[in-house]
Amino acid sequence: MNIFIKRHGAHAGKWIYEGYKNAWEKLGFKVKFYNEIISLKNENIKNSYIMAIDHDILGSPEIEILDKSKKAFLFVQSDCIPPPWGNHPNWKTRCDKYLIEQINETNIQTWTFLKTEKYFKSWKNIIYMPLAYDNISYKTILDKNYNFDICFVGGWANNGFDEKRKIMLEVFSYFKNTNLKCGFFINKNCSHEQECKIISNSQICLNIHDAYQRELGLDTNERTFKCLGLNGALISDDVECLKELFPSLLMYSNSEQIIEKVYFHLNENKLKEIKEENKKNINDFHTYVKRVESFISG
């Protein structure tokens, strides 16, 4: 099987696709990154009309022909996310109609981490594979200097409408008049090691989703999994797909509930046991390796 993974150089996308790369390689598969997929009309190349193109540091293109007769694994974007998001270029699929038709005729297995096929009307044979925990790259690092009551590591994550900033500022405003030791690191370019230390050593982790995730409820963020994997105690805003993935997860449906939920967790006598149970659940069922193993077997 040919494994092609979209190259993503920054932010959560980098770690998401690195996580899948690590998983496939751990299971013995060879993985190639690509920058774009294009169609190739060449009658001299039988059954090979799809190309993955990558570029090295000098900008020279490296072309890989995807044989229609062989299986491949390819992430695809929705072609009809509802407005307002679907109206913005950031949300539109990079594949034109002809290319989608070509891919649909191949053995390429297309997949998405959105829970429904409703917004992939042009694609065939698409499967749902939610994000997961990269337990290969992320490791617990104990350091008492990072012992916060509650932590959050992330960025404004402008998806084209700059919706996340407003949501985050509202959430953080509720912590101003508390005595909580907050480790909130926004756009601080924390190193991977620092991120692991902050999450590992804090009492609780905080999760905040984007507006489209809150409204559509189809996917959760990478933070969900790495917080549960490294820490085990997470308070998240209410996103529909989380209820199925983690039925016992402590959630808030409006920002006014956050502080109440935080103190509830901090005063929980069994917080240590909750953390260990959640860590075990993540490692048993929700790593990228487990996702790929499930895909291969089923």
Q: Provide the CATH number for the domain around residue 177.
A: 3.40.50.2000
User: Do 182 and 221 share a domain, yes or no?
Assistant: yes
Helix, strand, coil share (%) of the chain residues, nearest 5 = 40, 20, 40
Q: What's residue 135's pLDDT?
A: 96
Closest CA to 265 of 295, 239, 210, 227: 227
How far CA 109 is from CA of 112, 184, 206, in Å, comes to 10, 39, 34
Distance CA 15, CA 178 (A): 33
Last residue of a domain, one of 80, 97, 129: 129
Residue 24 in domain: yes
Q: What's residue 70's pLDDT?
A: 66
User: Do 114 and 148 share a domain, yes or no?
Assistant: no
Residue 51 in domain: yes
Q: What's residue 25's pLDDT?
A: 95
Beta strand pairing status for 150-154 and 182-186?
Answer: parallel
User: Do 56 and 149 share a domain, yes or no?
Assistant: no
Q: What's residue 71's pLDDT?
A: 72
Last residue of a domain, one of 73, 95, 129: 129
Distance CA 19, CA 186 (A): 22
H helix or E strand, kind and range, residue 230: helix 222-230
Residue 201 in domain: yes
Burial class (CB in 10 A: 0-12, 13-18, 19+), 297: exposed
Range of the domain at 180: 144-285
DSSP, collapsed to helix, strand or coil, labels residue 51 as strand
Residue 247 in domain: yes
Last residue of a domain, one of 105, 129, 153: 129
Beta strand pairing status for 50-55 and 61-66?
Answer: antiparallel
User: Do 161 and 269 share a domain, yes or no?
Assistant: yes
User: Do 192 and 82 share a domain, yes or no?
Assistant: no
Residue 136 in domain: no
User: Do 108 and 156 share a domain, yes or no?
Assistant: no
Give the phi and the psi of residue 9 in degrees, each rounded to 5: -90, -10
User: Do 116 and 150 share a domain, yes or no?
Assistant: no
User: Do 107 and 207 share a domain, yes or no?
Assistant: no
* 112, 129 contact by CB (below 8 A): yes
Q: What's residue 130's pLDDT?
A: 94
Residue 292 in domain: no
Residue 296 in domain: no
Distance CA 206, CA 262 (A): 9
User: Do 151 and 281 share a domain, yes or no?
Assistant: yes
User: Do 222 and 258 share a domain, yes or no?
Assistant: yes
Q: What's residue 55's pLDDT?
A: 65
Name the domain count of the chain.
2
30-89 pLDDT tens trace: 888 888 777 666 555 555 556 677 766 556 667 676 666 667 788 888 999 999 999 988
Mean pLDDT of successive 10-residue stretches along the chain, which has 298 residues: 79 88 93 78 57 66 68 84 90 83 82 89 90 96 97 92 95 95 95 97 97 95 97 96 93 91 91 95 97 89
User: Do 121 and 240 share a domain, yes or no?
Assistant: no
* 111, 75 contact by CB (below 8 A): yes
User: Do 198 and 114 share a domain, yes or no?
Assistant: no
- pTM, entire model: 0.91
Residue 253 in domain: yes
In the numeric block, which tokens belong to residue 195? 């991120």
